[in-house]
Amino acid sequence: MSKAILALEDGTVFEGRSFGAPVQTGGEVVFNTSITGYQEVFTDPSYAGQIVVLTYPQIGNYGANHEDNEARRPFIEGLIVREFSPLASNWRSEEEANRFLGKNGIPIAAGIDTRALVRHLRSRGVMRGTLSGAGGDPRELVERARSIPSMTGLDLATRVTTAQPYDWVEGVDACSPSELVGAAAEARYHVVAYDYGIKRNILRRLRHVGARVTVVPAGTAAEDVLALKPDGIFLSNGPGDPEPLARQIGEVRKLIGRKPIFGICLGQQLLALAFGGKTFKLKFGHRGANHPVLNRVTNKVEITSHNHGFAVDPDSLDANQIELTHFNLNDDTLEGFRHRSEPVFCVQYHPEAAPGPHDSHYLFDDFIKLIEECKR
């Protein structure tokens, strides 16, 4: 079996066994602590430009299938695991995870001491890295890692967005193909969703609570969105640094006060910037399915799913206009806010829960209630 090499920009090198595509790739090396849901991680567009380390030790054991894809293809740059299973054992499996990633040109390094790697990233911060599935000179790989563009200042949302608008028609009776739920509500309202890297389970969840959903590209003008006569507007998750998205921020600013708005992840960051706030890069980000978040409105703790490397500076928001509603109990970072007079609210985490717990599904119901209130 071929050797796989991960070389970090600080000169640290890890060696393992190669699976997936025998190619060389690069990106920001980050880690995710989820126990299940690796295929949803692979196909989440928010991971564009990143090599993902999964802390759960055995990956690939239940294979892959087309229904669990969160987007049209995997978006991770590479995968780092402790143990990778070349075999799949699950009644829903359609192919081995090794083949799924390999045919999409994504290298895998297995046999890596992921505990040591994650401790390194936690202490020094996430950093650029090169992953080679075909061996190579570690010194050259380190130099290549140092030449990779930094995530700070990088616009990735426009790379992963849809090229054309489309109507979402799937997921009428289920919010995830692997999860049985009640019947979907009647589609009473029209929601236009900006695709900055949107996940399919977000679209399923919107559809399930009673929305007819039209998805539009990230750069769509506010006037064109309003011409679709939406009842509400959704701002999706997505990869990269929010601050370079000047055009998107400007269009969001034009929509505030015109229609009810709900934002998730990058959507929250764009709303904060549209309100004159600031964002900053976290040392190693939040990526996992068990992050505790305090909802200050209900005074309840929600266990939530996360995938982000940037956060909103709460002190940069005008307290006379913005109510801070959710905070992360691990590091006290801002996880949600709402406008005091306009129909706008958002969260930093992923309430669609793919993968993850369902504690925050209520937010989609809250969006529909907000739309109903504004139509009275």
Q: Are residues 95 and 168 in the same domain?
A: no
What CA–CA distance (Å, rounded) separates 281 from 304?
Answer: 20
Q: Are residues 220 and 353 in the same domain?
A: yes
- Which of 97, 122, 147 terminates a domain? The answer is 147
DSSP 278-314: -EEEEEEEEEEEEEEEEETTTTEEEEEEEEEEEEE-G
DSSP 307-328: EEEEEE-GGGS-TTTEEEEEEE
State the angle between helix axes of 200-208 and 362-375 in degrees (0 to 180), rounded to the nearest 10.
50
Would 152 be classed as within a structural domain? no
- Predicted local confidence at residue 174, as pLDDT: 46
Residue 35 near residue 59, CB atoms below 8 Å: no
DSSP strand pairing (232-235 vs 58-59): unpaired
Report the domain count for the chain.
Answer: 2
Buried b vs exposed e over 207-233: b needs ≥16 C-beta within 10 Å? bbbbbbbbbbbbebebeebeeeebbbb
- Predicted local confidence at residue 182, as pLDDT: 67
Would 188 be classed as within a structural domain? yes
Q: Which domain covers residue 104, as residue numbers? A: 3-147
CATH of the domain at 86: 3.50.30.20
- Which of 147, 176, 208 terminates a domain? The answer is 147
| Catalytically active residues, by annotation | 265, 350, 352
Q: Are residues 342 and 255 in the same domain?
A: yes
Q: Are residues 45 and 194 in the same domain?
A: no
Would 166 be classed as within a structural domain? yes
Q: Are residues 227 and 136 in the same domain?
A: no
Would 184 be classed as within a structural domain? yes
Q: Are residues 344 and 292 in the same domain?
A: yes
State the angle between helix axes of 266-274 and 246-255 in degrees (0 to 180), rounded to the nearest 10.
70
- Which of 93, 125, 147 terminates a domain? The answer is 147
Q: Which residues does 58 contact at the CB level (< 8 Å), separation at least 6?
A: 81, 82, 83, 84, 85
Would 217 be classed as within a structural domain? yes
Residue 64 near residue 97, CB atoms below 8 Å: yes
Residue 148 near residue 130, CB atoms below 8 Å: yes
Q: Are residues 111 and 210 in the same domain?
A: no
Q: Are residues 131 and 222 in the same domain?
A: no
CATH of the domain at 187: 3.40.50.880
- Summarize pLDDT for 227-278 with one digit per residue, the tens: 999 999 999 999 999 999 999 999 999 999 999 999 999 999 999 999 999 9
Low-confidence residues in the chain, pLDDT < 70: 1, 171-182
Q: Are residues 63 and 86 in the same domain?
A: yes
Would 253 be classed as within a structural domain? yes
Planar angle of CA 214, 220, 224, nearest 5 degrees: 75
Residue appearing with tokens 């009647």: 186
Q: Are residues 143 and 177 in the same domain?
A: no
Q: Are residues 223 and 265 in the same domain?
A: yes
Q: What's the whole-model pTM score?
A: 0.95
Q: Are residues 176 and 136 in the same domain?
A: no
Would 365 be classed as within a structural domain? yes
